[in-house]
Amino acid sequence: MSTSGNLLFLIALLPFIGALVPGLMIRAGRNATATFTAVPTALALILLLTMAPAVLNGETIQAEIEWLPQLGLSVSFFLDGLGLLFACMILGVGLLITLYARFYLSGEDPVGQFYTYLLLFQGAMLGIVISDNILLLLVFWELTSLSSFLLIGYWKHLPEGRQGARMALAVTGAGGLAMIGGMLILGNIAGSFNLTDILQAGDAIRASEWYLPALILILLGAFTKSAQFPFHFWLPHAMAAPTPVSAYLHSATMVKAGVFLMARMWPVLSGTDAWFYIVATTGLVTMVLGALIALFKDDLKALLAFSTVSHLGLLTMLLGFGTEAAAIAAVFHIINHLTFKAALFMTAGIIDHETHTRDIKRLGGLRHVMPLTFLIGTVAALSMAGIPLFNGFLSKEMMLEEASHTYWAGSAYAVPVLATIGALLSVAYSFRFIGHVFLGPVRDDYPAKPHDPPFGLWAAPALLVILVVLIGVMPFLADGIVAAAASAVTGAELDPHLKIWHGVTPALFMSIIAVVGGAALLALHAPLDRAWIKARRPEAKAIFDGLVASIVGLAQRFTAGSHNGAISRYLAIFTVTSVVLGAIAFMGGGLSAPTRDMLPIPAVIAVGWIMLIVATISVVTMHHHRFRALVLIGIIGLTISAGFVYMSAPDLALTQISVETVTIMLLLLALHFLPKETPRESPMGLKIRDGLIAVAAGAGVGGLSFAFMQRDIPTISDFHIANSYEGGGGTNVVNVILVDFRGYDTYGEIIVLGIAGLLIYALMHALLEGPAARRLRNRDYAQDRSRDRHPLMMVVVTRVLMPIALLVGIYIFLRGHNQPGGGFVAGLVVAIALLMQYMASGFAWTQDRQRIEYHTLIGFGVIIAGLTGVGAWVFGAPFLTSSYTYVNLPPIEEFELATAMLFDLGVFLTVLGAVMLMLYSLSRIARYAGSTVNVTPMDYDPGSRVDDGSEST
Amino acid sequence: MEFLVASAVGTMTAGGVYLLLRLRTFPVILGLALLSYAVNVFLFSSGRLAIDMSPILSKYGEASYTDPLPQALVLTAIVISFGMTAVLVMISLGAFLEADSDKIDIDETDANEDVAK
C-alpha cells in the first residue's frame, strides 16, 4: 500500500474523529465549535487536493484493509475522477456550510450537536464516494440516511422538522434496504464485492438473468435518495431543517448520492433498454413535474426544493441516455447545480434570517434594502434559468443538445419537447425567484426590517457565485475535473472541450424558446396561480401518511389477532409450523437406504420400554391429579436413566438420576402452594385438536429419530476419542469434552445455570415483597398433614448419611476425568446430600448451620472456571487451554493433576450453588407462608419431654 | 432396539406437546419436563445406539467406543433443562400467588381490564 493510500484512510476517518469534538464541547460556543468542525474538514480537503494531480492524470489511488474476508467485506477505498469530484464538493461545500451555519444558527441552538451531526454526515457521504467495496458503501449509505435524519430533525421542537425527518428516513431507508438486495445480487454475479472487480464484470452482469431485479433494486435505492418521481415527496418536507442543512444535503451531497451511485454503476448497468427506459423516463418525468410544482410554490425553500427535484431529474435523465456526451453533460451539471443551488439556498436562508419570512407573496422589492443579497441571488438564479455567461447555461445547452437527438419508443419529439418544457418551467420559476422577491416596489409590511447580513453570512454564497460566473465565462477551467470524472463514469478516455458557443444548433433554439416562454409564463403567473390553487391535485404527504397509517393498522390487526394473550395458541401455532416445515423438508429430501443393523431387544429392556410408554400415557390421562402425575414423571426419568446405563452412557445416567431427584423435589415444593388438582375445563374439541397436534409432532420426532439411528454419517467424534488421553489427559471422553475440548461451551452453560439460580432468588424476593406475601400468609393450607414432620429416624439417618454422601460427591468429582462422574454430577450429589438435611431437620435448623451463601458458591465457581481459562494466557496459550501432569505421592497410587480439574471444580461449585439457591428460594417461600418452624432438630424431642414430665410430677 | 428408543421419543414428545397445550401452569411444566426428556434422548440417540461401548478409554488395548459428543451435549442439556424448569416453576408460582389463578392464557376480560388500566 502506498503512502497516498494510507492518506485515503486518514481522509475517510477525519470527519468521524472530528465529529467527537463539537459534541463534547457543547457549551463552548459557536466560534469554537465551528472552528473545530472546520479544521478536520479543511485538513481532509488539503490531503485530498494533494492527491488531485495524480487523479487528474488518470491514476486511481487505492487502499485496502481486510475486515471480514469470509463475507467479502473489506475496508477498501479508491479515488478516481468521479470520487475526487464528489469528495471535493462534499468537503468544500462542507467548509462553506460550517462558516454559514456559524452565523445562521442562534446562540440558543445546541450548536455542538449540529456540528457533530454535520461531520458525521460529511464522513458518511465521503465514505460513499470513495468506497471500493459495495458492502462498505452500503454501510456508509445507511449512515447518511441516519445522520441526515438527525440533521433534518435538528430543530426537535418543530413538529414539521420531526415529521420531515421521519419521512426522509422512511423513504431513503426503505430504498437503502432495496439497494442492499440489489448490491448483493450484483456481487454474486460478479463473484466479488469489490467495486473495481464489479466494474470490470459489466458484460457478465448485463447478460445475467438477475440483471433486471438487481437493476430495479439498486435504482430504487438511488431514486429514493435522489428524490425521483414518485419518491420525490420527502425532499420538500425535509426543508423543515435549518437552512444550512438544506443547502448542504439538498444541493451538494445527500440527494446527489443517488446520482453518484447511478454514475458509479454506469459502466455496469447502463447500455440496455431497461436502463434507458427506466432511468431516462423517470428523470424526464421528475424534471418536468418538479419544475411545474416549483413554479407554484410560495415558500422560497419549497420552490428551491422542487427545483432541486427537477434538476436531479435532469441529471438522472442524462445518465439514463447512456451516451458518453450525456455523461459529460451530467458531470458538468453536477458541478454547476452545486454552485448555484447552494448559493440560492443560502440566499433564501439570508432572506428568512433578515425578513423573518420565506413566503414569496409577502416579499418583493428587496433589491433596494438588500443590494448585496440581490446581486448574489440574481446571479445564481440566472444561472439556474440557464442564461448565457453563467455556468447553468452551458450544461443546460449540453442537456438540450443530447435530448434533441434522443428517440423515445420510436418518437423523435417526445424527449426534446418535454425537455424544452422542463427548461421553460425552470426559467419561469427562476425569474419568479428574482422578480417576486427582489424586484417590484419596496413594501412596508415585512415581518422584520431587512438589511444586508454580516459578512459571515454572505461570504459563502458570494464565493459560490464567483464560481458560477468564472465557469460560465471560462468553462475550460473545469475541463480537467470534468474530463477526469466523466472518464471515470464511462470508463473511456474523454475530452470534453467545454465552451460557450456551440454554433447555431437545435439546442440554441430550444433554449431561446425556453427563455422567452418562461418569461411569458411568469407574466401569466397570477391567473395561473389561482387556477393551480383551485385545481385538485394529489397531496403526497397525505398519501404517505395514509400509507403509513394503513401499514400500522394492518400490523396492529395482525398482532392483535395472533398475539391475543393465549399462550396455548402460540404454542399450538409454533408446534404446527415446526411439524409442517419438517414435513416439507422430509418430502423434498427423500431418504437414503438404512445402513445400520438394528440391535436386538432383550426382555428387560422391553419391560422398561413398556413401563415408559405406560407411564407417559398415564401422565397425559391422569395429569389432573397433579401429585400422581408427578410420581409418574419420576418413573419416566428413572427409566431413562436405566436406559442410559444400558446404552453405554454412564455419565448421562448419573446426571439424569441426580437431576431427576432435585427436579421432583422442586416440583413437590411448588405443588405445596399450587392447587392439587387441575380442573377439567378443556372442551372436547380442544382436546381433539391438541391430541392431533401432539400425535403429529410425536410421529414426526419419533420418525426422525428412527431414521437417524438407522443410518451412519461421518462425525467429528473420532478426533475426540483419539485425542482425549494424549491431549486432555483423561480417559473419560465425555468429561474431557466438557472440561477441555468444549470447555468454552461448558463455561457458558454454568454461567447460564448461575444466572437461572440468581433469577429465581430475585423472583422470590420480589414475590415476598408484593401482594403475594399477604396472600401467602392468609392461605388455608390442608390440615391433613403429618403431625411429625421431622421424624426422628429420618433425622438420624440423614445426619449419618451426610458425611458419606459428601465423600461420594468428592469421589465422583475426583474420578470424573477418567471414570464416569465429574463436576456436574458431583455438584448434584452434594446438593442432594444437603437437601436431605433440609427435608429431614427442617429449613431453619439447616439454615442456621449454613456457613457459605449459595450466591458466593455460584460466583466462586464461575470465577474459578474463568481464571483457569485465563491462566492459559500466562503461558501464551488461548483461553481454556488445559495442561496436565502425573504426580507420584507415596503411599497413594500415581495420580493425575490437570488444570481441567480446576475448571471442573468451578463447574462443581456453580452447579451446587445454583441448585441449592433454587430450592432454597422455594423453601423460603414455604417458611414465609407461616409454616411453623422448628429450631430444634426434631419436632418431638424425647429427652426434653422426659425432663418436662419429671419437673411437673 | 432402535425402534423402541424412537417410539419412546415419539410418545414422550406427543405427551409433552399435549400437556404443553393445556390451560394451567402445572400441566405445562410437566409437559415441558416430558419434552425435555424426549429431546435429550433424541439428541443422545443421534450418536447411534451402542451396547457395552462406554466412552471410557480402555487401558487394555484397542476397543470400540460409542459416540461421546452427543453424550457431552446431553449432559449439559439435562442440567440446563433443570435450571429452565426451576425458573418456570418459580414464575408460575409467582403468577399464581399474585393473580390467584394458574391459568396460562389471558382471558378476554382480563385483557380488557389491562387496557382500561
Size of interface A-B (CB pairs under 8 A): 315
Locate the chain B residue with the closest alpha carbon to A697.
Answer: B14
- Model confidence band, residue A951 (pLDDT cutoffs 50, 70, 90): very low
Last residue of a domain, one of A269, A301, A335: A269
pLDDT digits (tens, 9 = 90+) for A112-136: 888 899 999 999 999 999 998 888 8
Q: What value does the mean pLDDT take over residues A928-938?
A: 58
pLDDT of residue A380: 92
pLDDT of residue A698: 94
Backbone angles phi, psi at A747, to 5 degrees: -60, -45
Let me know if residue A135 belongs to a domain.
yes
A24/A610: higher pLDDT: A610
Residues A225 and A281 reside in one and the same domain: no
| Rounded Cα distance, A181 and A218, in Å | 8
Q: Which of these CATH numbers, 1.10.287, 1.10.3090, 1.10.3470, 3.30.1490, describes B2-55+65-116?
A: 1.10.287
Tell me whether B32 touches chain A (CB under 8 Å).
Answer: no
Residues 86 to 115 of B: which have CB under 8 A from any A CB? 86-87, 89-94, 96-98, 100, 102, 104-107, 110-111
B39/A58: higher pLDDT: B39
Domain range for A696: 603-700
CA distance B1 to chain A (A): 5
- Residues of chain B found within 8 Å of residue A767, distances taken between Cβ atoms: 93-94, 97-98
| Rounded Cα distance, A22 and A32, in Å | 8
Residues A84 and A228 reside in one and the same domain: yes
Task: Please identify which residue in the block is written with the cell numbers 435538528.
Answer: A154
Residues A284 and A428 reside in one and the same domain: yes
Residues A808 and A848 reside in one and the same domain: yes
- ipTM for the predicted complex: 0.93
Query: From the candidates A569, A611, A616, A928, which should be mutated to test the interface with B, based on the most B CB atoms within 10 A?
Result: A616
Residues A936 and A908 reside in one and the same domain: yes
Tell me whether B43 touches chain A (CB under 8 Å).
Answer: no
Locate the chain A residue with the closest alpha carbon to B52.
Answer: A648
Query: With 80 as the cut, is the pLDDT of residue A927 above it?
Result: no
pLDDT of residue A940: 58
Query: Which residues are bridge partners to B24 per DSSP?
Result: B103
pLDDT of residue A725: 82
- Residues of chain B found within 8 Å of residue A918, distances taken between Cβ atoms: 83, 86, 90
The x, y and z cell numbers of residue A32, run together, are 469554537
Number of domains within chain A = 4
| Rounded Cα distance, A630 and A635, in Å | 9
Residues A278 and A262 reside in one and the same domain: no
Let me know if residue A707 belongs to a domain.
no
The x, y and z cell numbers of residue A330, run together, are 451530467
Locate the chain A residue with the closest alpha carbon to B89.
Answer: A670
Residues A159 and A126 reside in one and the same domain: yes
**What is the greatest pairwise CA distance in chain B?**
75
Q: What value does the mean pLDDT take over residues A709-720?
A: 85
- Residues of chain A found within 8 Å of residue B15, distances taken between Cβ atoms: 616-617, 619-620, 694, 698
- Model confidence band, residue A949 (pLDDT cutoffs 50, 70, 90): very low
Query: Which residues are bridge partners to A68 per DSSP?
Result: A73
| Rounded Cα distance, A938 and A503, in Å | 117
Query: With 80 as the cut, is the pLDDT of residue A790 above it?
Result: no
Q: Are A477 and A497 in contact (CB under 8 A)?
A: no
pLDDT digits (tens, 9 = 90+) for B20-71: 998 888 999 999 999 999 999 999 998 888 888 888 887 776 778 888 999 9
Q: Are B37 and A612 in contact (CB under 8 A)?
A: no
Nearest CB to A753; choose among B8, B79, B89:
B79
pLDDT of residue A279: 92
Residues A244 and A288 reside in one and the same domain: no
| Rounded Cα distance, A403 and A626, in Å | 84
CA distance B60 to chain A (A): 12
Query: With 50 as the cut, is the pLDDT of residue A950 above it?
Result: no
Task: Please identify which residue in the block is written with the cell numbers 400422581.
Answer: A628
Domain coordinates in residue numbering, chain B: 2-55+65-116
Nearest CB to A678; choose among B5, B27, B86:
B27
pLDDT digits (tens, 9 = 90+) for A464-495: 999 988 888 888 888 888 888 888 888 878 77
Let me know if residue A576 belongs to a domain.
no
Tell me whether B85 touches chain A (CB under 8 Å).
Answer: yes
- Model confidence band, residue A453 (pLDDT cutoffs 50, 70, 90): confident
Q: Do B9 and A694 touch (CB under 8 A)?
A: no
Tell me whether B79 touches chain A (CB under 8 Å).
Answer: yes
CA distance B109 to chain A (A): 11
Q: What value does the mean pLDDT take over residues B85-113?
A: 78
Cα–chain-centroid distance for residue A523? 53
Q: What value does the mean pLDDT take over residues A282-304?
A: 90
Strands (E), A860-919: 884-887, 895-898
Cα–chain-centroid distance for residue A140? 13
Q: Do B97 and A721 touch (CB under 8 A)?
A: no
Q: How many degrees, rounded to 5, is the angle at CA A325 between CA A321 and CA A326?
A: 35
Lowest mean pLDDT among A155-164, A585-594, A828-837, B83-92: A585-594
Residues A767 and A886 reside in one and the same domain: yes
- Residues of chain A found within 8 Å of residue B44, distances taken between Cβ atoms: 644, 647, 649, 652
| Rounded Cα distance, A129 and A254, in Å | 11
The x, y and z cell numbers of residue A554, run together, are 394492518
Proportion of chain B above pLDDT 70, given as a percent: 90
Residues A658 and A622 reside in one and the same domain: yes
Q: Are A572 and A693 in contact (CB under 8 A)?
A: yes
Let me know if residue A598 belongs to a domain.
no
Query: Which residues are bridge partners to A887 per DSSP?
Result: A895
Residues A347 and A453 reside in one and the same domain: yes
Backbone angles phi, psi at A296, to 5 degrees: -105, 10
Q: Do A757 and B83 touch (CB under 8 A)?
A: yes
Q: Are A630 and A666 in contact (CB under 8 A)?
A: no
Q: Are A880 and A743 in contact (CB under 8 A)?
A: yes
Query: With 70 as the cut, is the pLDDT of residue A893 above it?
Result: no
Last residue of a domain, one of A480, A502, A525: A525
Q: Please measure the distance between the N-terminal and C-terminal CA atoms of chain B and give it in whole angstroms.
A: 58
Let me know if residue A381 belongs to a domain.
yes
- Residues of chain A found within 8 Å of residue B115, distances taken between Cβ atoms: none
- Model confidence band, residue A933 (pLDDT cutoffs 50, 70, 90): low
Residues A88 and A174 reside in one and the same domain: yes
Whats the size of chain A, residue-wise?
A: 953
- Report DSSP letters for A932-948, one per residue: ---SSS-SS-HHHHHHH
| Rounded Cα distance, A316 and A285, in Å | 10
Q: Are A831 and A912 in contact (CB under 8 A)?
A: yes
Which run of H or of E encompasses A155?
none
pLDDT of residue A3: 60
Last residue of a domain, one of A525, A560, A591: A525
User: Is residue A160 classed exposed, middle or buried when 0-12, 13-18 and 19+ CB atoms within 10 A define those classes?
Assistant: middle
Let me know if residue A947 belongs to a domain.
no
Proportion of chain A above pLDDT 70, given as a percent: 95
Query: From the candidates A562, A619, A921, which should be mutated to test the interface with B, based on the most B CB atoms within 10 A?
Result: A619
Let me know if residue A553 belongs to a domain.
no
Nearest CB to B93; choose among A670, A731, A771:
A670
At a CB cut-off of 8 Å and minimum separation 6, what does A187 contact?
A72, A134, A135, A193, A198
Nearest CB to A694; choose among B18, B56, B96:
B18
pLDDT of residue A947: 47
pLDDT of residue A943: 56
- Model confidence band, residue A720 (pLDDT cutoffs 50, 70, 90): confident
